[in-house]
């Protein structure tokens, strides 16, 4: 389960930020998580809670914004959100769409520090 190592990395980064900004505790970590990131949301939430014990993040929330897969359709010439990550074709015209614009994110976007 690589979600535990991801959770530990998030905690390490957040702990450094708390120290740098003179805070004492993190209330929440906000994260963008793309559908193609390879990370299982529920496993990450579980791992995060377990890894936070005895750290400045103990009791904090991991707020996850799920990012759908958005591709560029060369036929429609615009961005399209895929109906399923199983099928990489435009949901409007059925053209194969290999150019992924969004959906691979694994990015901490904000910290709520006290």
| pLDDT score recorded for residue 114 | 82
Answer yes or no: are the C-beta atoms of 102 and 35 closer than 8 Å: no
Whether residue 99 has pLDDT greater than 80: yes
Smallest CA-to-CA distance from 71 within 91, 101, 93 is with 101
Query: What band does 10 get if pLDDT is binned at 50, 70 and 90?
Result: very high
- For the entire predicted model, the pTM comes to 0.87
| pLDDT score recorded for residue 1 | 58
Domain, as residue range, for 9: 3-113
d(CA 33, CA 83): 17
Alpha helix ranges (H) inside 2-114: 3-21, 41-51
| CATH classification of the domain holding 22 | 3.30.2320.80
**What angle in degrees, to the nearest 10, is found between the helix axes of 41-51 and 3-21?**
50
d(CA 32, CA 63): 9
| pLDDT score recorded for residue 22 | 83
The tally of domains found in the chain comes to 1
Answer yes or no: are the C-beta atoms of 97 and 80 closer than 8 Å: yes
Per residue in 38-77, pLDDT (tens digit) is: 999 999 999 999 999 998 899 999 999 999 999 999 999 9
Q: What are the DSSP E strand ranges found in the chain?
A: 26-34, 61-67, 70-73, 78-81, 100-102, 106-113
């Amino acid at each position: 389960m690589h979600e535990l190592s991801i959770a530990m990395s998030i905690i390490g980064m957040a702990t450094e930020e708390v120290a740098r900004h003179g805070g004492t505790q993190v209330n929440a970590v906000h994260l963008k998580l793309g559908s193609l990131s390879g990370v299982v949301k529920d496993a990450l939430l579980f791992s995060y809670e377990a890894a936070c014990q005895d750290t400045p993040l103990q009791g904090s929330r991991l707020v996850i914004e799920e990012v759908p897969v958005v591709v560029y359709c060369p036929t429609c010439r615009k961005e399209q959100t895929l109906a399923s990550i199983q099928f990489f074709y435009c949901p409007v015209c059925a053209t194969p769409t290999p150019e992924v614009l969004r959906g691979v994110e694994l990015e901490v976007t904000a910290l709520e520090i006290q």
